[in-house]
Amino acid sequence: MSAVLTHPTSTILDLPESRFPLRLGVENKRIRDLFHNATRQQWDPATDIDWAAVQPEQYSEEQRRAARMYWSRRAWGEYGAISESPALQIRFCQEKCVPDMALFFTIRSQEESRHAEVCYRMAEALGGYFEEPAAAVFQGSVATHGIRKMALDPTISLEGTIAALVCAAEEIAFDVFRHLIEITVNPVARQVSKMILRDEVRHCAFGWAFLEQRMPQLTPQEREGVRQAVITMIEKVELNGYHSSWLAPDSPSSRAETEVDRITWEAGLGATTEELEMPIFLKSIAVMRQRMKDAWDIDIPKFTHYKFSQPF
């Protein structure tokens, strides 16, 4: 799959590109269907959200400020996807993956940019978007996803990258979005999460459809690479607070972010709390582990984290 490298820092951009013969027929029907669904499900953050219903004046200054920080952080998270999606696209072309993937990902990139915009607009509607975290140390938790680098590194398999990014991380995010829709009171905050979830359903389905086709073709060693990539994503990214601030290493700045979430949740403007999210997170991990066992016959071990009294 990957060419022999002459320099350890080489990326796939250093490899020659050969595009032809260019296949554009359907080679993964499920992914092609997702692409067509996506083109039919486009929406516009500027006009499809009832922004007037935010009614920021009904909240206290403190609540508005917390919610602005929360929605700004959501925008930064979505931006992470914007920065990784094109790198994966280059990888699909470089590896001559089934064409359905590259077609789907053009829309996927658009959808992630729409998510970033809608979160930005929500922060603006509440009084103003923040361009960066209050504390620089927290950037390590919200900015480290590592996918862009993995996507361009020919020594890391694409199957492992997609399994980690989509079947693990995006699935966990999906469960949290669904939970947020259930608990968020402000109709606009709820609508924003709903619209994002509508797109994320397809993003998740893409990962499973890709791996369903690829897993049977992998060697035992490559399958182990997939397993390790998933474990690394959970341990180094998710359990480091990428999606949930209460999972970040304990520090004054992560405590401040958790407090932002609590105030935002109390106001009904989005966000959740450690107590509410913990069972959702545990269930996500359990469901993911079982699904990977059933679909790919790989065993994801139990994880540990200082917030949990026992391995999960």
Considering only residues 77 through 106, tell me which ones interact with Fe ion, judged by CB under 5 A: 78
Question: Near Fe ion by CB under 5 A, which window of 5-13, 27-35, 44-52, 74-82?
Answer: 74-82
Q: Which residues contact 182 (CB under 8 A, 6 or more apart)?
A: none
Cis bond before residue 21 (omega within 30° of 0): yes
Closer to Fe ion by CB, 115 or 179: give it: 115
**CA triplet 43, 76, 172: central angle to 5 degrees?**
75
Per-residue x/- track, 214-253, Fe ion (CB under 5 A): ----------------------------------------
And the tokens for 152? 């361009």
Count of residues that interact with Fe ion, criterion CB under 5 A: 4
In the shown chain, the binding pattern of residues 168 to 207 toward Fe ion, with x for contact by CB under 5 A and - for none, equals -----------------------------------x----
And the tokens for 58? 């009904």
Cβ pair 188, 122 in contact under 8 A:
yes
Q: Of the ranges 71-79, 82-90, 262-270, 277-285, which one interacts with Fe ion (CB under 5 A)?
A: 71-79
| One residue of 32, 65, 73, 115 binding Fe ion per CB under 5 A | 115
Least separation, in Å, of the C-beta of 200 and Fe ion? 5
Nearer to Fe ion, 125 or 176 (CB): 176
Tokens, residue 187: 């109709």
Is there a contact between 4 and 98 (Cβ–Cβ < 8 Å)? no
Task: Record the tokens describing residue 289, joined without a space.
Answer: 């582990």
Nearer to Fe ion, 100 or 112 (CB): 112
Output 91 or 203, the one with its CB closest to Fe ion: 203
74 binds Fe ion (CB under 5 A): no
Q: How far apart are CA 294 and CA 308, in angstroms?
A: 26
Alpha-carbon torsion (136, 137, 142, 146), positive or negative: positive
Question: What's 306's DSSP letter?
Answer: T
Instruction: Return the range that interacts with Fe ion (CB under 5 A); candidates 6-14, 110-118, 160-168, 239-247.
Output: 110-118
The closest of 26, 25, 116, 131 to 69, measured between CA atoms, is 131
Give me the least distance between CB of 78 and Fe ion, in Å please: 5
**Nearest approach, Cβ of 81 to Fe ion (angstroms)?**
5
* Distance of alpha carbon 85 from alpha carbon 305, whole angstroms: 29
Q: Which residues bind Fe ion (CB under 5 A)?
A: 78, 112, 115, 203
